[in-house]
Structure formats: C-alpha cells, structure tokens
Structure 1
Amino acid sequence: MPRFSVIVPVFKVQAYLHACLRSVLDQSFTDFELIVVDDCSPDGSGAIADSVTAGDARARVLHLPENVGLGRARNAGLARATGDYLLFLDSDDTFVPGALQAIADRLARTGEPDVLVFDYARTYWNGEAHRNQFAAILSRPGPEVGTLDDRPELLRLIMVAWNKAYRRDFVEKNDLAFPSGYYEDTPWTYPVLMAAGTIALLDRVCVHYRQRRRSGILHTTSRRHFDIFKQYDLLFAFLDSHPELERWRPVLFRRILDHLTTVFNFPDRLPRSSRAEYFRRCRAQYRRLRPPGLRAAPTGRAGVRYLLVATGARRTFQTLGGAHRLRLRITRRAKSWYGRLRTAALHAHYRLQRRRPLDPDLAVFAAYWDRGYSCNPAAVEERLRELAPHMRTAWVTTAEHAHTLPPGVRRLEPGSAAYWTALARASYLVSNVNFHRRYAKRPGQINVQTHHGTPLKHMGIDLLDHPAAAGGTDFERMLRHVDRWDYSLSASRHSTLVWERAYPSGFTTLEYGQPRTDLCHRAGARDVLRIRAELGIPRDSTAFLYAPTHRDYQRGYRPALDLGRMAEALGPDVVLLRRTHHFYPAGGGRDRTDGHPRVLDVSAHPSAEELCLASDGLITDYSSLMFDYAGLDRPIVLHVSDWETYRATRGAYFDITAHPPGLLARGQDELTDILATGAWRGPRSAELRAAFRRRFCAYDDGFAAERVVRRVFLREEGGLPAVIPLEDRRPAPDPARARALDPDAAEAAGAQEPSGPAPLEPSRPEPGTR
C-alpha cells in the first residue's frame, strides 16, 4: 500500500501535461502511486501521459471511453486508489520539488490527521509567482491538530480539492465523491472540512497553480455557470443528512450568497440574456436554503446585498454595485493622484539638488531595507568616524529603528526631502542591499556594496531558475542597480566568484573580509561577559545561539525545533538563545517555547555579532551567520532536516552537508544527543570547523572595516593593514575562557552602563598589502 495516491484528471492540456506529470514522478519522496485519468481528451494528452509514465511501475494511465467531466474523472481515479492518503493535482499545475516529502513529514508529525491543508502559489505566463493571499491563515497560532471549529477561518481559503491531502479511509467512511458539472469542488471541499475529525496545516507552498494567459474554464461565458445552484443544493443535502453539522448552516448560507453574487458580478461569465434568470434563481435559492431564524439582512454592505437578493431587486443590485465600483475607482484615483503629486514634488526637489555640487565630506549609509544600524555598513560607519573625523555620516532608517543609531549619527527618514537631498549630494553611499530605484548615480559619487553575508543560497541572476524564491524579482531593474556599484566587498574567494557571476557588472571587488566580523576579533573577555550579563545568561551556563534562516517556501516563522523540550533535555546548565531571521518582525518568533526560563528570544537584539560573542556554540541550518561564527573558532552544529527541499526551492552554491562547519543533525533528537554528549565541541567538530575557516574566513581578521575606510574614503592605495594569517589570529575568547581570563568581570559588568567598556583591540599588524 503506497503512502499517497496522486490523482491527475486530464483533458485538453497537452502543452502542460508533461511538466505536471514530471513534477510528480521526480519528487524526492517516492512512496506513491500516480493515477492519470485521460478523460477522453481530443488532443495528444492521452499519448503524452502514456509516454511520460512508460516504464514507471508507480504510474498508470486510465483512458475513459467518453468525456465525463472533471468531477467524474476524479471519481474514476478514486475508485482505483490504494494509498493511505489521496492527493489531487490538476493537469496544468505542478508540485514544487520536495512537496510530497514535506506533506509526508507533516502528516507523521501531526498524528495522521483526516485532512492536511497546504499552500499554493499562483504562477503566471510571464514568470511571476504570487503566494495565496490568505496564506497567513496557515501560520496563525493555534493547535497543531484540530477541527474546523478550532480554525473556522479555513473557510476563507479557496474551495478546491488540490490544496489538501485526505486520509483515504476517512473519504470512504463519509462516502465522499465529486459531482458532475462546473463548481464541482464546492460539494466536496465543504463536507470534507466540516466532517473531518482532525485537520492539520502545512505552511508551505506545495503546488504551483498555473494562471493561463487566456482565462480558464470558469471564466468562459456560458450558461453552465448555472451549475452552481445544483452544487449548493448538493451541499445542503449533505448538511440535511448530517444533523451533527447543523451549526455550520448559517455560515455556509452566507458563503453561498457571497459566491452567487460574485459570479453575477463577473461580466464575462453569464450571457447577457441569462442574467435576469440567474438573479431569479439566486432569489429562489435564498428563500429555499435560508436557515430558520437567520436575519434576512445583517448589518453592513453585505447585509444590503443579501436583502436585494432576497427581494429579487436585480436592477437596484446592479445600480448599487455600479455605484460602489465607481466610488472605489474615484477613491483609488484620488489616492493615486495625491501620491503622484507628492512623488513628483520630491522628484523635482531631488533633480534640483542634483544641480548642486557634491559634498566631499558626506557619506550616507543604510542596511537591510532601512531597518536600523547594523551589519557591514554599521561597522564601516563606526570605523569611518574614528579614522576620518572630518567626515559627516547620515543613516537611512525609520523612526521605529532610530534607537539603534549611535550618538552623533544623523537619521534620514526614507523618502523625505532630506533623504533625497542626501542621495543627491553625498559623495559616498554604502549599503548591504540597494538604494531607492529612483536614485540616479552622479559622476563622482562612490557606491559601496557590502552585501550581508557569505552566500550559500542562490543570489542575483542565479535565481532565474528558482521563480518561487525570486518572488517576482525584476532582474533587469536589479542589474541596473548593480551597475551603480563601484566596489563590492568580499569575505573570501568563494564570495568573490559568486558576486561577480550573480551580479555581472563592472565593479571592483575588495577582498577585505566582512566588516561586521571585526567585533568578533576586537572584543575581549570583559566584552563577552558584559554582553552575557546584559542578556541575563547565568554566569556558568552554556549558551547556544539558535539562528535559523528563512524558507522561501514558507510564510512567516515556523519553528523547526521545540526549544522548550530541548532545554528540558539538556538540563539546568544550558540556555538557548533564539534569533529569528530579519525577514520576520522582532518577536515574531513566538511559539509554544515562550515562557520557558532557559529559552530567551533575542530576535529584537540589534547586534547579531554581540549574540555570537555571548554564546558558547551556534545552532543553525543554512544561515550565513555560520560563516561569521566560524571566524570566532567556536563550535557549530547544523540542523539540516529539510536540506533537500531547501536546496531544490532556493538553490545552493555547494552542498553544506558535504562540507559543514561542524556536526550535522537531521532531526531534533539527533541534535539533542550531539549537544548532551559534548560531541558538539569534540575533535571531529574542531576538524570540520578548521577546514571551513580555511575556505571561507580568509580575510576576517578584525581589520576589514579599516581596509575599506582607508581604500575608499581616504584613498590610500598602499599601506592597508595586512591580513593576519589564520593561525596567528586571536578572536574573542569563548565564555569559559573569558571567565578564566577575567574572573571578576561578570560582577563588574552588572555595575557598568549598558554600553560597557570600549572593545579591546588586537595589536595592529605592520602595514602592507595582501
């Protein structure tokens, strides 16, 4: 018995069928059967299905003798399914790589629920891909497994069969089947959700839902849209036969009215001659299916719409609908004109400022899309103020992040007149992303691209083959922005080769190291212990920093580890510091581990580098933080439970599981064992880390920012700090050694100001070039 039965009904899809079937057969998870149902398709679809599946014992093609329609074709596949779970896939859509593995893992983790709901993305002929607009429903707090009563918002999702996995014995027990005609998913999906004893969610895009350039079947003008009345009659007949589900009748009744009026409002669905008849049918269905005691007209615009349907006032309905659409257009245009006028005024101001001379002593900095003072630009800015005090610096960030700016650094509000003045007149602009698309580089301006980490995942034009990860990126615009760069900072030869290939342009590469890692080499024992005291880490505890990266195939932060359970297993001497990716709001990593006294959420801490200094070891997955942390020469453990899926959806420049910076764990239990036994800091871990440092930390020695300042701002071609050989570097001591070096520092730190002592610096090497 296979784990999954994947049912694909086929009719007139010869242009898309090969991709659909290959997306199933090429899945990394292989325990499935593929049932292709050729619904007597008049094109070459049947032959294509035979050709693609030939020789694969997991697949079979059923050729129907006559065309029966989508619903009955699915039923034909159902009758032959033998899998534990049923999956439906429309023949012009595709599974994303790793989808079946992710579904199988989630089913196992949630105890074999009756139904698993997963996400999808709409893909367009021009290469754009947009995730389901209600995807946040799949990541909202709530029980991992429940019923529709626990998550009634599931009824807001698109009512289709292909975004769910169904336990086959649940389907058979409830005698569920698809009807014939249009809107056949309606009397299937609602009963499934209402009758399911257990429903689980998977916050992951598993299906690419193709949006054809010419609209699909439901957007064709035809009287077959009248089938919607029959389908809702079937749905309410199901309710009549299941009195235990009676509580859902008012909810479904309102859903019916919303759906019926939506079809009526679409100008391309109903023939003009049939619109009056359709509205009469809406009124009749309203009167026939209205639950006893339900108010005829709830408050609000929806109530007015329902009342007009109940009274059959079609012309009034159309008039009010037209008036409402007109108001929306007027409001949108008014907002649009205001925005255009403001933008035009600011752009005129910017053009005027560009006529003024450049300010040779002004440098503008930004990081992470204006999210505060951090990363490589912050390290360069700090060093610039030390080495070139005549320079004035300004930092682009919002009021929300103003508290991160050090004293004396001017803040620029993004999009303000002062912002555009600075972009027009600054001689230097430094960022780890890109400045505004309307910024036009002037002759004499120098742009420095610092990047924000060593690349493991695909970047730049290398994302062309990964549209879901690219997220609708305008690659032509991106390359126009890249053409502004004068300098690109690199932390290693690996980074140099990636940046020059992923962002092809004429910039000069500076292999100087990552400035943000300077702190890891310039800090001393007192800094380490001070930061730990500020974070509330007990003096003698072992602290692990857990810093996972984001997933392009998930929406929002979804914890891969139960940190509370791990903290209990590791004992009272271990503290876990959780830092979510900067794509998620600070504190957005809240989950059931919150409240555990030894799990600290440090997502809002402004400095990832300080968190590295405070920790004894790093737990991560594919985050670029591992490259920074390796420079500290402290232990790293990788949790790689979804490596194959991550690599398939995002792309990777090398196999991190073959060349890791430390030990690997495929699951939480294995990770806990590595930490509990001390293997995380054993000889094998040290051996892997040493090889990783040699490959990726060639220039991170504490003087990267100084090299940048002297070369770019002070125009010193020679005399830059020579790179300290790897074997001669002395990064900040780990917490255990820090306690031994300065046993009284922890108590002293408690009496100090939060800023602590000035960072201790390593002795500067003799000037020279690399």
Structure 2
Amino acid sequence: MPRISVIVPAYQVQAYLGECLESVLGQSFTDFEVIAVDDCSPDGSGEILDGFARADDRVRVVHLDENVGLGRARNAGMELATGEYLFFLDSDDTLTPGALQAIADRLDATGDPDVLIFDYARTFWDGRVVRSRDAHLFASTAPDGTGRPDVFTIAEREEVLGLLMVVWNKVYRRDFVAKHGFTFPPGYYEDTPWTYPTLLAAQSVAMLDKVVVHYRQRRQGGNILATVSRKHFDIFDQYDRVFAFVDDHPGLERWRPLLHRRMAEHLRTIGNHPDRVPPAARKEFFERAAEAERRHRPAGSAAIELHGSWKAGPLGQVARKAKQAVKAAQPELRRAVAGPVLGGYQRIQRQLPIEDELAVFASYWGRVPACNPAAIHAKLRELAPGLRTVWVVEAKRKSDMPKGISVVSPGSRTYREAISRARYFVNNVNFPDGAPKRPGTVQLQTHHGTPVKRMGLDLQDYPAAGHAIDFEKLLQRVDRWDYSLSSNRFSTLIWERVYPSSFRSLEYGYPRNDVYYSAGAEEVRAARAELGIPEGATALLYAPTLRDYRASYRPQLDLARLASRLGDGYVLLNRAHYLYDEQPSTGVGGGARVIDVSAHPSVERLALAADALVTDYSSVMFDYANLDRPIVVLADDWEVYQQTRGVYLDLLSGRPGETPGALATSEDELVDVFRSGAWNGPEAAALRAAFRERFCEFDDGNAAERVVRTVFLGEPTPLPVVPLADRTPAPTPEQAGA
C-alpha cells in the first residue's frame, strides 16, 4: 500500500499537464501512486496521461466515457486509490521540490492525523511567486508568542476555517474519508461541501509550514468559476449539502452560525462578481440567496441582508467599459498626435461597419507573401473566390510581389482602411500595435515553424534573445488571436503554454507543407531547372537559423571550401535566415557548385529541388521531414546556442523522435557524413522515420483546406487527417529523373 495516492483529474489542460505530472514523478519521496483521470478531455490530455503511464508504472490512467466535471472525476480517481492518504492535485498546478517528503515526514511526526493542511503560493506568467496571505497560520507559534498544538481539532483552532476552502491544500487519510462516506458532488463549487464537512468531522488535524503547491494563475481561461454562466446557481445546492451534513451530525450544531455567515459572504461575492452570474439572472440569484439565508439561519440569529451592488449591474458595466475605453484610447491618442491626418482617418474607418468579405494577410513583418499565410491565401481564393483579400507589404518590397494580388503598405491610407474594416486577419507573426482588434473580427495566428528554440514567455529566462521583448505588450498582441495553428501536438503544447490566452488551437498541419504531398515529378524537375542544378547532381539545401548572440550575419560554414571538399557531384543551395535579408551580402563563392538562394521567394520550392537538407536548429527540418528525404544536423555551436537561446529538443541525443538524421559538429565531420554515406544510411533513415512520426502527424496535404473551411467558411468538422502510412510525398529528384 503506497503512503500517498495523488489523484489528478484532467480536462483541457494539455499545455500544463506534463509539467504537473513531472513535478510529482520527480519528487525525492517515491512511496506514492498517481491516479490520473481523463475527464473525456477533447484535447490531447488523455494521450499525455497514457504516455506518462507507459513510462512510469506508478501512474494509472482511467478514461471516462463522458465529461462528468471535476468533482465526479475526483470520485473516479478515489475509487481506484490504494494509498493511506489522498492528495487531490489540480492538473495545471505543480508540486514544489521535496513536497511529498515533507508531507510524509509531517504525517509521521503527528501520528497520522485525519487531515494535514499545507500552504501554497500563487505563480504568475511573469515569474512572480506569491505565498498565500494566510502563511502566518502555519507557524508553530502564534503572534502572541504562545505555542500552537501539533495536532488539534477545528474547535481548538477555529481560525483554520479561514483558510482558502479548497481541496488541494490538504491530504486526507483514506480510511477517515471512507468511514464518513465523503464524495464530491456534481456541479460548480464542489470543494465547498467536501472541505467544510471533512474539517468539521476530523478528530485530528495537523499543519505543515511549507509551500507544497504552486497554484497557477492563468492569464485567461483555466478557471471555470470565472465563466459567466447560470451554473453559478449550483452554489445553493452545495451549501444545502453542507447544512445537511450538520443536520445529520448534531454534535456539529455549534458551527451553524459560522457556516451561515460564511455562506452569506460567499453568495454575496458570487452574485456581485462581474464574471460569474449573467446580468439578466442577477435578480433571481439574489432572490435565491435571500431564501437560502432565511432557510439556513440559526434560531435567534440576526438576518443578513443580501442584495446586488450597482458595480455588478448595468451601471457598473458601463463604468468598466468606459475605463477600458479610456485605457485603450491612450496609445491611439499618442499615435493620432504623431500623425493627425491618417490617425483621424483610421478612427473614422473603425466607426464604420466591418466588411464581412474582406481579409487582411501578412507574413514575416511585411515581407512578400510566403509561408502558411500564402498557402491559406491560395486555397481561400479557390474555395471562396468572392472574398476580397489584401496583403500588407512594405513599400520597398512591392516590386517583388506576384501579379494579381492587392497590396497595402504599412501606415498608408489604404492600409489603415483595411485593418479598420476587415473581418479576417491572417499572419505568421503579430500585427503591429497600430492595428487594434475590433470586436467581431477574427484573427488567425499561423506561426512559422515547429519550435526547437525557446519562444514566448520562455524567453524571460534567456536575456540574449529576449532582452528587447516587452512581454506584457507581447501578451496583449496574443490576446487578439482567435485561432493558433499547429502542425503537431509538440507545438500545440508549447504555444498554449508560452502564449497563455484564450485562443483555440487548430491542430490541422502547416498549409505551407501541403505542396510536399501535391507536387509531382514535373514540379521537382522544374524547381531544379530554375535553380540551375545539373542533372544527376546531389543538391544540398543549407538552411541555418538565426544566431541571437551575434549582432550581424556571419556564415557558419565556408561553403566554397565545403563544396570543393565534397566534389563535383554536389551542389550547395545556401539559404540564409530571412532576418538577414537586409544586411550586406557577404558572398558565398564556390562558383557553380554554390548557389545563393537566400532571396528565393519559396523555401518549399527549394526543398522540392534538394536531395537532402543540412541545417542546424532551424524549424525547416520539421517541414522537410514530410518529404522523407535525408536531414543532416550541423551543430557546431550547440552549447552556446543552448545557453543563449534555450531549446526544447536535444537534437544531438541520437534518440528516435528527437534527432532527425545524421549529426555533425564540425565541417570535417560534415564532410565525413557525406563521404561515408551516413547521411543516407539505414541508421539515418530510422531516425528520420521516428522524427516524421512525431512531428508530421497532421501534415497530410490538406492543411490549408482545413483552415479555410473552419475559419472562413465556418464548417464545424475538419477534414480527417490522412494517416502517415497512407501519405505519398513528392518524388525525390532521383525518382523524378532529375
């Protein structure tokens, strides 16, 4: 029998669930079991739980057939628990290091009490950790200097009932719970009819003066109680259950006055909170509250008046909106002073109706159409030709635009009109602050790669890359997103965690990768011909990523020398990172065997032309894996890159699903990889297969259509994903006869 059963219900917490379980499984204390309950979660939570169970036999998973809510999901876990103590941990929270050992030690020291209470700290997106306001109650000595008992009943320390009435800041002896038949009820506020009865019934309670739980404070979403809904009326049933317990246990009658006051305070808080009861139902809520107050009022006690505050009503709503409008208008006012004519024009446009048939596209901070937005744009013109589209492109790049595409330049009159009136916005980066989101508009963030390097809030710990980022403003831009596109579950989990907001994740694949399944031999031959690749030559696409720790571009390789060492049968296609496109060209040399393709408009077309990819830590490796062609990782500055930028994958590990192919850490090793044939050998092929299985799970050639049908056409059910085994990528150059 384990000492502790940790019960973890999970519902739509895929971004945080792994961190939660890792915090438990990584504890120094090991005499525990984890009962993980998948509450029929529609995201990847169930799969994540199964993965942990496969890797650690201390984890047991139960998948519920329907969503039953937090309380009954805990009951399902409790039925399977075999530990001496029950610990109900919410799946987006974490344990602090040494937490379970501290709990076990305190249980031993206090003779296995019915309930052990411990402290928590709130953790915020910006790294703040704030201990609970009641930390003083855990000290062994009271403020007046008198000692506190190690073990007590609630009657001996009534102030303990002032702690946050939640279930996860305590552990409960399982036979005590079974003796009293404690279970969680359905509905909102399920902790209330559990916590009060357990504490009042306990014959022995102890305290642990330690922060055990880090209570995650999500920026948006996550707290179901912060959702405006009639489900907040559940609170009345929950308090009825509390008082029914008192009725069934006459010895607890002395607690009725306190519970009555607590109930009245709780009902008043819920009813007056702007994010709880719907405004139209607030009058009914307070009528129910007054009735509950009368019904549960102890004999001889004074009535407690319950009514709504004006701040929670229509006047309060007007006041809040006015305050928000003033705050939002401040940056617009500053911009208007800087450009009064165009700023005024934009404000006028924002007062006009939104154009339902207008979509604004952009990619890479105003560069020419590319990446996922370009692929979505092409499919949108095919499936919804009546919808008008415009691209935001810097004026100096207009001459590079393909024909037949409408263009507006940042800051221009036509730009301000488009961003003020459009219904849809699509970008693989963020739109600038001068394009605030209007209510009713739809913004799709497509991203531009699967992340190897740290992103978003994770850059707070890497100043070399994140020193210039204003993270509060970044999150304000993220709050505009309605959809976040993902090509694999790995990316989804990162995006949801490092860009915390209320967007909907679309695990549809990357539209820019569709061409890897639609292109045929003719397209492959044409791509090579336009680049001047000799027939029969082995073309290597060299595509390194950005180096944040360098102020300017410096090639990682001497490509002319590499081409010479590889010999006449190889051609190198040099593709510098797009952020270097405005820096002076350093030249690559190498004659006909080195072709600089940095200015080529389509990375995808370059990939079709190449026999293999040579990269370092660029996300291009995940896209190229769709072609099932060799990938070679050149990691000559891996340690520096890890320390300055941070990474999510250990590309040099050699583990299947983490390393995409052959490895090299120097030019000499890179030459040897090709001379020896390791780049295209069986070991590299096996690594590539595992890499494809993990990271190409949704890229099947239909991603753009899924996006268009969901975002623009409003279809509720996306096209099914073609299994990896049933996909046929574009032919290799050899297969295409090139």
TM-score by length of 2: 0.53
Amino acid at match of 1:520: Y
Give the Å deviation of 1:450: 0.2
Name the residue aligned to 1:717: 716
Aligned to 2:542: 546
Aligned to 2:511: 515
Which residue pairs with 1:399 in the alignment? 395
> How far does the alpha carbon of each residue in 1:147-168 deviate from its partner, in whole angstroms, 9 at most, with x for none?
xxxxxxxxxxxxxxxxxxxxxx
**Partner SS state of residue 489, structure 1:** strand
2:486 paired with 1:490: yes
The superposition leaves residues 610-654 of structure 1 with CA deviations (integer Å, 9 ceiling, x where unpaired) of 000000000000000000001111100000011111011001112
Are the equivalent residues in 2 in contact too, given 1:363–1:393 (CA < 8 A)? yes
Whether the 8 Å CA contact 1:580–1:589 is kept in 2: the answer is no
**In structure 2, how many angstroms separate the alpha carbons of the residues matched to 1:725 and 1:470?**
38
Contact 1:373–1:404 (8 Å) recurs in 2 = no
Alignment partner for residue 633 of structure 1, among 622, 625, 628?
628
* 2:701 is equivalent to residue 698 of structure 1: no
Partner of 1:727: 725
Alignment partner of 1:622 is 2:617: yes
Contact 1:557 1:589 in 2 (8 A): no
Q: Does 1:556 align with 2:552?
A: yes
- Structure 2 residue 468 is matched with structure 1 residue 472: yes
Cα 1:521–1:671 change in 2 (3 A) is same
State the distance in 2 between where 1:402 and 1:692 align. Answer: 38
Find the aligned partners of 1:677 and 1:355 in 2 and give their Cα distance.
67
1:605 pairs, out of 591, 600, 605, with: 600
Letter of the structure 2 residue corresponding to residue 642 of structure 1: D
1:322-341 equivalence runs, <5 A: 341=337
Find the partner of 1:450 among 436, 446, 451. Answer: 446
Which of residues 347, 351, 367 in structure 1 aligns to 2:347?
351
The partner residue of 2:530 within 524, 528, 534 is 534
- Aligned pairs for 1:97-176 (under 5 A) are none
| C-alpha separation in 2, matches of 1:586 and 1:425 | 32
Q: In the superposition, relative to structure 1, how do residues 588 and 737 fare at CA in structure 2: closer, same or farther (>3 Å)?
A: farther
Quick one: which of 357, 372, 377 aligns to 1:376? Answer: 372
Residue 650 (structure 2) aligns with:
655
Q: Cα distance, 1:401 vs. partner?
A: 2.4
SS at match of 1:583: helix
For the residues of structure 1 that align with 2:475 and 2:338, how far apart are their CA atoms?
A: 27
Separation (CA, whole Å) in 1 of partners of 2:647 and 2:400: 33
Name the counterpart of 1:670. Answer: 669
| 1:342 CA displacement | 5.1
Distance in 2, Cα, partners of 1:340 & 1:363: 25
- Superposition pairs of residues 299-314 of structure 1, within 5 angstroms: none
Aligned AA for 1:681? N
Alpha-carbon displacement from aligned partner over 1:373-396 (angstroms, at most 9, x marks no partner): 101100000110011001111000
Between the aligned partners of 2:534 and 2:382, the Cα distance in structure 1 is 34
Q: Considering only aligned residues, what root-mean-square deviation do their CA atoms show, in Å?
A: 1.9
Distance (Å, rounded) in 1 between the aligned partners of 2:513 and 2:560 = 30
TM superposition shift of 1:587: 7.7
1-structure distance, mates of 2:340, 2:568: 60
Q: Give the TM-score, by structure 1 length.
A: 0.51
Q: Could you tell me how far 1:545 is from its partner in structure 2?
A: 0.3
Identity of aligned residues (%): 55
Report deviation, 1:569: 1.3
For the residues of structure 2 that align with 1:594 and 1:623, how far apart are their CA atoms? Answer: 23
Please give the secondary structure, in 2, of the residue aligned with 1:736. Answer: coil
For 2:630, give the aligned amino acid.
P
CA offsets, 1:121-170, max 9 Å, x none?
xxxxx99xxxxxxxxxxxxxxxxxxxxxxxxxxxxxxxxxxxxxxxxxxx
Count residues with an aligned counterpart.
404
1:564 is displaced (CA, Å) by 1.1
Return the offset for 1:408: 2.2
Deviations 1:23-82 (Å, cap 9, x if unpaired)? xxxxxxxxxxxxxxxxxxxxxxxxxxxxxxxxxxxxxxxxxxxxxxxxxxxxxxxxxxxx
1:644 aligns with 2:639: yes
Which amino acid is the alignment partner of residue 452 of structure 2? L
Deviation string for 1:411-433 (max 9, x for gaps)?
Answer: 01111111011001000000011
**Any conservation in 2 of the 1:578–1:602 contact (CA below 8 Å)?**
yes
User: Does the Cα contact within 8 Å between 1:456 and 1:652 map onto a contact in 2?
Assistant: yes
Task: Go from structure 1 to structure 2 and tell me whether the alpha carbon gap of 1:703 and 1:339 turns closer, same or farther (over 3 Å shift).
Answer: closer
* 1:679 corresponding residue in structure 2: 678
C-alpha contact (below 8 Å) 1:366/1:432 kept by paired residues = yes
Does the alignment pair 1:410 with 2:406?
Answer: yes
Residue pair 2:561, 2:590 contacting (<8 A) in 1 also: no
Residue 561 of structure 2 corresponds to which residue in structure 1? 565
Report the Cα distance in structure 2 between the residues aligned to 1:357 and 1:518, rounded to whole angstroms.
35
Q: Which runs of 5+ in 1 are unaligned?
A: 1-125, 128-336, 740-745, 747-770
User: C-alpha offsets along residues 738-761 of structure 1, whole Å, 9 cap, x if unaligned?
Assistant: 11xxxxxx7xxxxxxxxxxxxxxx
Q: CA deviation at 1:540?
A: 1.1
The 1-side partners of 2:344 and 2:483 are apart by 29
